[in-house]
Amino acid sequence: MWNHINAPLKEKVDILAKNPYRFYIGQNVWAHRNSRQKILEDYLNEAIALEDFELCQKIKEVKTFLSFVNNHKTKRDYVFILETEETMWDVEVRYYLKKEDNLLKLYKTNDTNEEFHNCDASLEINDYLSKKDVIELLENHFEKWREFYGLPRFRTEGLIDEKEFYTMVDSIKEKRDHYINKAKELKTPFIDFLEKANLDPIPNGKNEYQWLAKCPYSKGKHHMMVSTKNNTYGCGWCKKKGNQRDLENYFKEGN
Ligand SMILES: [Zn+2]
């Protein structure tokens, strides 16, 4: 409610980023969404007076984000979300939300290439859009690419801060571990067969049925997907799919 009216500036800015219907500026006094820009402008001046430039940057990102959501004029067409370090390639990656028509699209840049890369993920703009939605969008993105790139490390705060970032990473790891354990519980004879064939099957943590194994068609150069739901495999590189019988036949042919 109004417990935050004497809270530090950053806390109040964080509450505003959640785009609440009512934002209390005093006891029983609250501001509608159309006055958020004015409030943030005042906070920005306070942060400038405090010489807290990190907070100034944060306020600017929240201001831009809310101006997209609440249809206010703004000079920028993007919000900086955060900068991460990709653990696999050692590059710094910056994430942005860019306004395109009625969508906020997720883009990234990295230090080897300043161009915006489309991440193929977006949020539809509506009155209720909040920082929570942005966190969810990014979490899904990290989760989707975890297998290929691993999980990133935190570098610099934008709309999202370090604490929010690591909450996201912990939730991804928890989900992964849950599915890995579940997959092991639901292990089928097909997995035993792949083990005996030295294809080293491992659960990939995406759901309770998905495993990865060395692809025999490429002599183990890459992985193929295995599902214990129907006990089938598929390799997108080699354009091969089938079941245990198909693999047995392939091995019998002397491969
Ligand atoms: Zn293959």
Please tell me the distance between residue 242's alpha carbon and the centre of ligand 1 in angstroms.
Answer: 12
Please tell me the distance between residue 148's alpha carbon and the centre of ligand 1 in angstroms.
Answer: 16
CA distance 19 to 193: 53
Each residue's pLDDT, cut to its tens digit, for the chain (255 residues) gives 788 888 999 999 999 999 999 999 988 899 988 899 999 999 999 999 999 999 999 999 999 999 999 888 888 999 999 999 988 778 899 999 999 999 999 999 987 777 899 999 999 999 999 999 999 999 999 999 888 888 999 999 999 999 999 999 999 999 999 999 999 999 999 999 999 999 999 999 999 999 999 999 999 899 999 999 999 999 999 999 999 999 999 999 877
Please tell me the distance between residue 255's alpha carbon and the centre of ligand 1 in angstroms.
Answer: 14
Please tell me the distance between residue 234's alpha carbon and the centre of ligand 1 in angstroms.
Answer: 8
What single-letter DSSP state applies at residue 72?
A: -
**Cβ distance 65 to 97 under 8 Å?**
yes
Please tell me the distance between residue 241's alpha carbon and the centre of ligand 1 in angstroms.
Answer: 9
Please tell me the distance between residue 120's alpha carbon and the centre of ligand 1 in angstroms.
Answer: 26
Q: How many CB atoms lie within 10 A of CB 227?
A: 15
The distance of Cα 113 from the centroid of its chain, to the nearest Å, equals 21
Q: How many CB atoms lie within 10 A of CB 85?
A: 15
Please tell me the distance between residue 189's alpha carbon and the centre of ligand 1 in angstroms.
Answer: 22
Instruction: Set out the domains of the chain in order of their start, with CATH numbers.
Output: 3-69 (no CATH), 78-178 (no CATH), 187-252 (3.90.580.10)
Q: Phi-psi category of 239—alpha, beta or left, where left has phi over 0 and alpha has psi -120 to 50?
A: left
CA neighbor of 205 nearest in space, from 236, 173, 250:
173
The tokens for 178 are: 């849950």
CA distance 138 to 122: 10
Please tell me the distance between residue 215's alpha carbon and the centre of ligand 1 in angstroms.
Answer: 5
**Cβ distance 194 to 203 under 8 Å?**
no
Please tell me the distance between residue 213's alpha carbon and the centre of ligand 1 in angstroms.
Answer: 10
By DSSP bridging, strand 153-157 and strand 202-203 are unpaired
Q: What is the three-class DSSP state of 137?
A: helix
CA distance 187 to 152: 30
